[in-house]
Structure 1
Amino acid sequence: MLVELRKNAGLRQAELAARLGCPQSFVSKYESGQRRLDLIELEAICKALGVTLTEFAAWFAQQ
């Protein structure tokens, strides 16, 4: 779902990573399931993608 959000935002992994202030490998690892996210990280990712954590949770619940 995070991959879809990123692509809908028109961002590449490197661009999202720059917004988050982290390496591109961070984005790659959580998108591929190699890394889990904590709530603080998920909130930062949502913010960088222009959605609130509440909006993401509602969208997640519908999937």
Structure 2
Amino acid sequence: MPKSVFTDAYAFVVEYLLALRKEKGVSQVELARRLGKTQQFVSLVERKERRIDVVEFCVFVRALEGDPEAAVVEVARSLPDDAAI
């Protein structure tokens, strides 16, 4: 499988969502249902093969019954000082 084209800093975004999903005990199939997407869509995001924007990130967090504002703050605080795009 090819390496992700996304930055290491972006990996924390996906790791946050994956950890939240597992913490809530939600399967990819259930999350996909809540999002109105396919399980394959969720899988692509979690494998870092499909990048999501901040709106999608917030919708993911809401679908997992999390707090989008707190999630964005946590992700922002986790970024290294030399994070690049």
TM tier relative to shorter chain: 0.7 to 0.9
Q: Which structure has the highest helix share of the two?
A: 1
Select between 16-25 and 39-48 the one with higher mean Cα deviation: 39-48
Q: Indicate the RMSD between aligned Cα atoms, in angstroms.
A: 1.4
Matched with 1:44 is: 59
**Shift >4 Å, 4+ stretches:** none
Matched with 1:28 is: 43
Structure 1: runs of 5 or more not aligned: none
| Larger RCO, structure (CA 8 Å, separation 6 or more) | 2
The alignment's TM-score, normalised by the length of structure 2, stands at 0.67
The alignment's TM-score, normalised by the length of structure 1, stands at 0.88
Structure 2: runs of 5 or more not aligned: 1-15, 80-85
Partner Cα separation in structure 2 for residue 16 and residue 36 of structure 1 = 17
For these two proteins, the number of residue pairs brought into alignment is: 63
